[in-house]
Each structure stands twice: as C-alpha cells, then as structure tokens.
Structure 1
Amino acid sequence: MDDDVVKRLKNIEGHVRGIEQMVENDTYCIDVIKQIHAVQAALDKVSGIILEGHLHSCLITAVRGENPDERERVLAEIADVFEMKKFT
C-alpha cells in the first residue's frame, strides 16, 4: 500500500503544481476548477486506500482484542472519519 500511496501523492503534487501554473498564467477559471476537482478526486482515492488499510489492520486488531477501551477508541475514530466525509 505505501508505495502506491506515495506514487499517487507524488502524482497529485505534480498536478497541484500544474494548477499553480495555470493560475499564474491566467488560465480560464473553469479549466482551473476542473483540475482542482480532479485533484480532490485523487485525494479522495488516496484517503480510501489508507482507510481500507486501516480497516484491515488496526480496526480488526482492536475488535478482536481484549481491551474494550481500545475497541471503543478505534470505533470512535472510524465514526469520526465517516462523519468528516459527510461534510465534504
């Protein structure tokens, strides 16, 4: 997962630099906005990949574990992530 995420983030970084150039060059606003939406979609994809990894490792470990406080903490974290997503 890490290599894929890093590769995607570097791609996004390059894309953001391209948007910066577009703004500096007074590119048509709608074209800039379309590129911003593409970056947002790419970041959402990265977020999903990271969340999937977390669900398959940390969450499963906590749910199967003996510590109820840890289980509740991890479940609350996941709930917070989904709550944040509702507002984006």
Structure 2
Amino acid sequence: MSETKPCCNERTKVRGEKEYKDLMNRLSRIEGQVRGVKKMLESDTYCIDILTQMSAISSAVASFNNKLLENHIRSCVIHDIKDGNDEVIDELVTVLQKLMKN
C-alpha cells in the first residue's frame, strides 16, 4: 500500500495505508452486522429487531460509499482533471445518479 499514484488508466488505485485501513474497518463492521442479522434470522428474532439492524447496515453502507466517493473525488477525479481527462466528470455524474437512486 503505497502513497504513490492516486489513479491510473488501468482503472486501479493504490490506496494509502490510512485510507485502506479505514475502508477495511468499515467493511469489517458491515460484515459483522450482516452476520449478526443472519444469526437473528436463524434464532427467529422479532421482525422489527431485524429491520432495525438492517437499517443500521444500510446506514453503514451509505457511510462507506460516502467515504469512498470523497476519497475518489479528492484523488482520482482531481488527478484526472489536471491531466485533461474530462471524461471523469461524466463517470462521476453517472455514479452519483446511481447512488442517489438508493
């Protein structure tokens, strides 16, 4: 995990250690929440309790998306615009439209 190239044409990104750890921690928490809901379902837990946990998972996923999007804009988008790649704006608009549907 190097702090070098924010993005490249091969559609990959080398993330810094802090960003990587933050995103992985968020995903690990979400994974744990999903496993917890699975156990709740297996234990015949009351519907409202499961729905409450599912709402927390939805919020955690939205938070993950927001953080990833912020990192993307602050690194890849800025980098591409500075390099004259304006297509990144269309890509960003498309992904924002998809995220806003949810």
User: What TM-score do you get using the length of structure 1 for normalisation?
Assistant: 0.89
2:86: which partner in 1?
Answer: 71
- Aligned-partner Cα distance in 2 for 1:71–1:58: 12
1:60: which partner in 2?
Answer: 78
1:85: which partner in 2?
Answer: 99
Aligned CA-pair RMSD? 1.0
Paired residue total: 84
Q: Provide Cα deviations, 1:21-68, integer angstroms capped at 9, x if missing partner.
A: 0001110001101100101100111111111111011100111113xx
Higher percent of residues as helix: 1
- Aligned-partner Cα distance in 1 for 2:56–2:40: 14
Mapping 1:1-88, distance limit 5 Å: 1-66=19-84, 70-72=85-87, 74-88=88-102
User: What TM-score do you get using the length of structure 2 for normalisation?
Assistant: 0.78
State the identity %.
36
Higher relative CO (CA 8 A, sep ≥ 6), structure 1 or 2?
Answer: 1
User: Residue 4 of structure 1: CA displacement?
Assistant: 0.7
- Aligned-partner Cα distance in 1 for 2:47–2:91: 37
Structure 1 runs not aligned, ≥5 long = none
Structure 2 runs not aligned, ≥5 long = 1-18
| Letter of the 1:54 counterpart | H
